Structure 1
Amino acid sequence: MLGFLRRTWGAVRRPSVHYSLGFLTMGGFVMGVVFWGGFNTALELTNTETFCTGCHEMRDNVFVELQPTIHYTNRSGVRATCPDCHVPHEWTNKIARKMQASKEVWGKIFGTINTREKFLEKRLELAQHEWARLEANDSLECRNCHSAESMDITRQSTRAAEAHERFLFTGEKTCISCHKGIAHQLPDLGQASLMAAPEAVAELSGYLDQ
């Protein structure tokens, strides 16, 4: 018995290579699970409407504009929240979007749009960044809810059906090409000449005039 206790104590004080590797492997696995769980929990907490509207810049500007629209209140009772439209659902794209959005923390710290006046001055630039992102990913977030394959154009107006057949189904344009301002007010296009190519301004103006 005494010999067994001595061997056990010796193993604890001077563990063998096998024991050390085992403890390291198990410890690494446990820490990995804890880290991964914590990371995903934090990720989902930052992916809610409550989080997005936690700062007054969003709550008092774009969120107020969203509320009267059909994306917020409609006969079906299905609401599109901030992350539904601005964060991809697929994990890899979601992480990329979160990394991109981390730059917005600096805007919060330095008060880039902390007043209504500052927000309106930056509005066109902010909108153009989001339009460009949606153009680049073929309106991925829109397509999470709106599927061209399941779209019944026979129940649409003649103008909408023709536009979808001509542009959407052929891939010539994507959702955001025509649906700018669908959930938020459009910026003052009078500023556009300073911040966008003339042809882009003309295209957007054409959509608004239809």
Structure 2
Amino acid sequence: MLLWGGFNWSLELTNTEAFCVSCHAMRDYVFKEYKRTIHYNNRTGVRASCPDCHVPREWIHKVVRKVQATNEVYHWLRGSIDSPQAFEAKRGVLARQVWSAMESTRSRECRNCHDIEFMATTRQSN
């Protein structure tokens, strides 16, 4: 039981914005851009944080995503992205990986907040 509790505790600990931006690559490159988006700052004050968009809510899908993230930890330990230039060189590949994951789940994490049935699409800009 203690092992199970520790496992769930670690899942939740790593499921916070603070954890995500503790890595310099996220804090110094991605987070700065995110802070200029509507998901961070908007007229309603509702914010989507890193796990809202990048970590599934369902437990088994969350565990699978966390296992996949061990590859990111490996590259962080290796120092694969240790400069703005290194980040820019890998940016396209990293973005395509995220987009591919979102497409494979039909944007499941987006749909946790967004519901096409209630969108006023005529009031949206392109």
- TM-score relative to the length of structure 1: 0.57
1:104 and 2:100 aligned = no
Which structure has more RCO (C-alpha within 8 Å, separation ≥ 6)?
2
Which residue of the other structure, out of 88, 92, 115, is the alignment partner of 1:147?
115
Query: Matches of 2:69 and 2:26 in 1, distance apart?
Result: 14
Q: Which runs of 5+ in 1 are unaligned?
A: 1-32, 161-210
For residues 121 and 88 of structure 2, the distance between their equivalents in structure 1, rounded to whole angstroms, comes to 37
Where structure 2 has 5 or more consecutive residues not aligned to the other structure, the ranges are none
Total equivalences in the alignment: 126
- 1:94-115 CA-to-partner distances (Å, cap 9, x unmatched) read 1111111111111011111111
Structure with greater Cα Rg? 1
1:49-88 C-alpha deviation (Å, 9 max, x unpaired): 0000001110000000011111101111111111111111
Q: What SS does the aligned partner of 2:117 have?
A: coil
Q: Does 1:70 align with 2:70?
A: no
Query: Offset of 1:151 from its aligned partner?
Result: 2.1
Give the equivalent residue in structure 2 for 1:55.
23
CA offsets, 1:130-154, max 9 Å, x none? 1111111101111111012222335
Deviation at 1:38, TM superposition (A): 1.2
The CA RMSD over aligned residues, in Å, is: 1.3
1:37 deviation in Å? 1.3
The one-letter code sitting in structure 1 at the alignment partner of 2:36 is P
Letter in 2 for 1:72: Y
* Distance in structure 2 (CA, Å) of the matches to 1:108 and 1:152: 41
Distance 2:56 2:82 in 1: 26
TM-score under structure 2 length normalisation = 0.94
- The percent identity for this pair of structures is 53
